[in-house]
């Protein structure tokens, strides 16, 4: 993991945004490791990398593990990458100790999950799951997804690398940090994930009238920032009507023009709401979608666009039960829990029996440079994943 994280050379956290140079170098490094291990290397059109330890008796029956290679901006060292490197380590250890498995063992490094560069999430797992992927989107520099994708993926497909969309697996197990405080606070080794929250994300654009800060009479102003602040306050007020588990994050703020002596004419902000209760998520989402009905300055216009929606997802209970037994055998403490973070597993759960293994995040911190998990915890998660893959592919 250290080698791949070092590629970005960032002190202020990881910025391995999809199709960026650090993302390309990381996927190239992963391909090189896969080739050194003698694994079959496949890359799909979105740049997801698949490394296969082909099965001896049932090569077409695939047991998969993995996670996403991209990060949020100023992200941590473990979100996504732990599942990619941990999955590779588990497969390499099994190949060294037990040789070829009966079924194919597959590691997947999904190209994009976070939605940090382009307003689209889970692109890698959606494409692999044969679900629609939006390509007609630009990043904040105006570069199109389609161009960035084509340029980056062309650098991954070289000699000995097959370029296709491989067959779907029987099962998918994602090794991931919890990104929350529960395991750390309660000193529990392993989290066995029962379900993952549903998510809705929106962009809100408030348009007013840029004007002179000194000469424009207060009654004639259309101050976009004032209205945006009032809308955000309204969203937070309304959230109180819902259960504690509905999370609301109002994110990135963009204000134009952003100078003290100009009345802000245009403000953009994001809204991220989540819940493991589908009805609650729908009704809060409707509040956001109807923001334009809220009483504001008649000179102001408000545009709301929704850019992600992922359903509340139940994971595979039989795989979870198997992991309980293996964790007991390994002498690890464990608990069942729901994930407040989104994961590629909620897309993979639509096409394969899917489960997740969590390890603690110190202080529950994630999506930040301070994200940290001690090696002993990482190794416990790896040991459980290795035991599970052994049971499924060699047993």
The residue number whose beta carbon is nearest to Mn ion equals 343
Asked whether position 174 contacts Mn ion by CB under 5 A, the answer is no
Instruction: Scan residues 18-37 and list those touching ligand HGY (CB under 6 A).
Output: none
The answer to whether the beta carbons of residues 367 and 342 sit under 8 Å apart is no
Give the separation between CA 67 and CA 175, rounded to whole angstroms.
7
3-state DSSP assignment of residue 144: strand
Phi, psi for 319 (deg, rounded to 5): -65, -40
Exactly one of 327, 343, 356, 361 binds Mn ion (CB under 5 A); which one? 343
The nearer residue to ligand HGY, 114 or 223, going by C-beta atoms, is 114
The nearer residue to Mn ion, 76 or 265, going by C-beta atoms, is 76
Q: How far is the CB of 343 from ligand HGY (least distance, A)?
A: 7
Exactly one of 52, 70, 114, 280 binds ligand HGY (CB under 6 A); which one? 114
Exactly one of 34, 55, 76, 80 binds Mn ion (CB under 5 A); which one? 80
The nearer residue to Mn ion, 52 or 371, going by C-beta atoms, is 371
The answer to whether the beta carbons of residues 381 and 86 sit under 8 Å apart is yes
Q: How far is the CB of 19 from ligand HGY (least distance, A)?
A: 17
| Contacts (Cβ under 8 Å, ≥6 apart) of 23 | 16, 17, 47, 69, 70, 152
Interacting stretch for Mn ion, rule CB under 5 A, among 55-63, 80-88, 231-239, 246-254? 80-88
Distances (CA, A) of 226 to 183, 230, 270: 41, 6, 16
The item of Mn ion, ligand HGY, none sharing an interface with residue 378, based on CB under 5 to 8 Å by kind, is none
State the Cα angle at 138 between 134 and 139, rounded to 5°: 120
Asked whether position 113 contacts ligand HGY by CB under 6 A, the answer is yes
The answer to whether the beta carbons of residues 118 and 139 sit under 8 Å apart is yes
The residue number whose beta carbon is nearest to ligand HGY equals 341
Give the separation between CA 13 and CA 269, rounded to whole angstroms.
23
The item of Mn ion, ligand HGY, none sharing an interface with residue 119, based on CB under 5 to 8 Å by kind, is none
Contact residues for ligand HGY, defined by CB under 6 A: 113-114, 341-342
């Amino acid at each position: 993991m250290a080698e791949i994280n070092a590629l970005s050379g960032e002190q202020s956290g990881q910025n391995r945004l999809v199709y960026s140079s650090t993302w390309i170098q990381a996927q190239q490094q992963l391909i090189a490791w896969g080739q050194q291990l003698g694994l079959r290397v496949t890359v799909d059109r979105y740049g997801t990398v698949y490394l296969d330890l082909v099965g001896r008796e049932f090569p077409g029956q695939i047991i998969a593990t993995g996670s996403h290679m991209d990060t949020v901006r100023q992200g941590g060292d473990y979100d996504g990458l732990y599942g990619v490197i941990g999955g590779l380590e588990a497969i390499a250890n099994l190949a060294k100790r037990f040789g070829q498995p009966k079924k194919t063992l597959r590691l997947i490094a999904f190209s994009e999950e976070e939605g940090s560069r382009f307003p689209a999430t889970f692109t890698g797992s959606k494409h692999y799951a044969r679900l629609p992927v939006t390509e007609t989107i630009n990043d904040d520099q105006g570069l199109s997804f389609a161009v960035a994708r084509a340029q980056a993926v062309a650098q991954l497909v070289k000699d000995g690398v097959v370029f296709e969309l491989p067959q779907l697996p029987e099962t998918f197990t994602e090794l991931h940090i919890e990104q929350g405080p529960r395991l750390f606070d309660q000193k529990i080794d392993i989290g066995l994930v029962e379900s993952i929250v549903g998510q809705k994300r929106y962009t809100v654009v408030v348009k007013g009238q840029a004007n002179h800060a000194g000469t424009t009479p207060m009654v004639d102003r259309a101050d976009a920032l004032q209205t945006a602040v009032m809308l955000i306050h309204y969203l937070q007020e309304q959230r109180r009507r819902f259960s504690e588990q509905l999370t609301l994050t109002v994110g990135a703020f963009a204000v134009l023009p952003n100078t003290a002596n100009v009345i802000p004419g245009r403000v953009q902000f994001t809204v991220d709401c989540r819940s493991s209760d589908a009805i609650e998520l729908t009704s809060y989402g409707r509040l956001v979608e109807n923001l334009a009905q809220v009483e504001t300055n008649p000179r102001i216009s408000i545009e709301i666009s929704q850019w992600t929606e992922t359903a509340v997802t139940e994971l595979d209970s039989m795989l979870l039960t198997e992991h309980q037994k293996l964790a007991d055998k390994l002498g690890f403490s464990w608990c069942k829990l729901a994930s407040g973070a989104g994961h590629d597993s909620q897309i993979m759960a639509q096409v394969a029996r899917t489960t997740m293994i969590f390890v603690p995040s110190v202080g529950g911190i994630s999506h930040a440079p301070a994200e940290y998990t001690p090696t002993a915890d990482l190794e416990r998660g790896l040991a459980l994943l290795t035991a599970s893959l052994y049971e499924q592919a060699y047993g």
